Amino acid sequence: MGKKRIISQTKEEMIKEGEKMEANVQKEIKTESHRGVKEGKIYISSSYNNTIITLTDAKGNTLAWVSAGGIGFKGTKKATPFAASKVAEAVALVAKKIGIEKVAMLVKGIGSGRESAIRSFAARGLEFISIKDITPVPHNGCRPPKVRRV
């Protein structure tokens, strides 16, 4: 197999990645009419294939959204906790620019990016009002198929 190498990022690469994220944030903010918003909701939709985070105001009007695929992750890397934390950082930057301080978290899905996205928001300094799990759960499921007669 050969030796495994650990690739570490240089400062220039980290700065370039930060600028790329800033460019995505600049694209997301379309109107300046949301400047007075102090509270909002963050919807985290985490599936086996992707993580999508939506930032809304208190009424539910979408202010910005970012997905792991939109940032630049491709294939199976979109479903990783690392990608989810990067998506959360991008949304936190947008929230800071808009002026949102308090958020209610609504988490949906069974992907691996749920917890890492929440931790990333906490590290960015957003104050949580509540964290709810809104994953749909079947009560009794579908009707089973008929018994096979051979």
Task: Please state whether beta strands 51-57 and 127-133 pair in parallel, antiparallel, or not at all (unpaired).
Answer: unpaired
Residue 22 covered by a domain:
no
Task: Supply the pLDDT for residue 77.
Answer: 93
Residue 96 covered by a domain:
yes
Task: Supply the pLDDT for residue 92.
Answer: 95
Residue 4 covered by a domain:
no
Residue 129 covered by a domain:
yes
Residue 3 covered by a domain:
no
Q: Which of 61, 68, 60, 76 is nearest to 24 (CA)?
A: 68
Domain count, the chain: 1
Could you say which DSSP state residue 130 is in?
A: E
**pTM for this predicted structure:** 0.75
Task: Supply the pLDDT for residue 150.
Answer: 86
Residue 51 covered by a domain:
yes
CATH of the domain at 44: 3.30.420.80
Residue 21 covered by a domain:
no
Render each residue's pLDDT in the chain as its tens digit; 150 residues.
Answer: 566 666 676 777 777 777 776 666 555 555 455 667 789 999 999 999 999 999 999 999 999 999 999 999 999 999 999 999 999 999 999 999 999 999 999 999 999 999 999 999 999 999 999 999 999 998 888 898 999 998
Provide the 10 A C-beta neighbour count for residue 102.
13
Q: Which domain holds residue 78?
A: 36-133
Residue 74 covered by a domain:
yes
Task: Supply the pLDDT for residue 29.
Answer: 55
Task: Supply the pLDDT for residue 19.
Answer: 74
> Helix %, strand %, coil % for the chain, to 5?
35, 25, 40
